[in-house]
Amino acid sequence: MSYDEKSPIEVSAAVLLQLYTPLRRVVDIGALSDETKALEELSRQLFLESVDLHNEQVNYSVLR
């Protein structure tokens, strides 16, 4: 099927796909996975730190 036989929507979609294709970026799944693990670990550490700070605050208020 040539461009002459396609509807304007099909032609527009084909043209957009041709324009978009070179702009796609390669995604490094391994790097994303490593970054996700590091951020999850940071999140856990921050949570534990906040729990410790809360417990210190409770202990301080009880001792007062």
Interval 17-49: pLDDT, tens: 666 655 566 778 888 899 999 999 999 999 999
pLDDT (0 to 100) of residue 45: 95
Angstrom distances, CA of residue 11 to CA of 2, 20, 60: 9, 14, 71
pLDDT at 3 over 70: no
pLDDT, tens only, 13-24: 666 666 665 556
Predicted TM-score of the model (pTM): 0.53
Burial of residue 32 (CB within 10 Å: 0-12, 13-18, 19+) is exposed
- Write down the mean pLDDT value for the chain: 78
| Spatial distance between the Cα atoms of 13 and 7, rounded to a whole number of angstroms | 10
The tokens describing 64, both together, are: 């007062």
**Position 8 confidence tier, pLDDT thresholds 50, 70, 90:** low
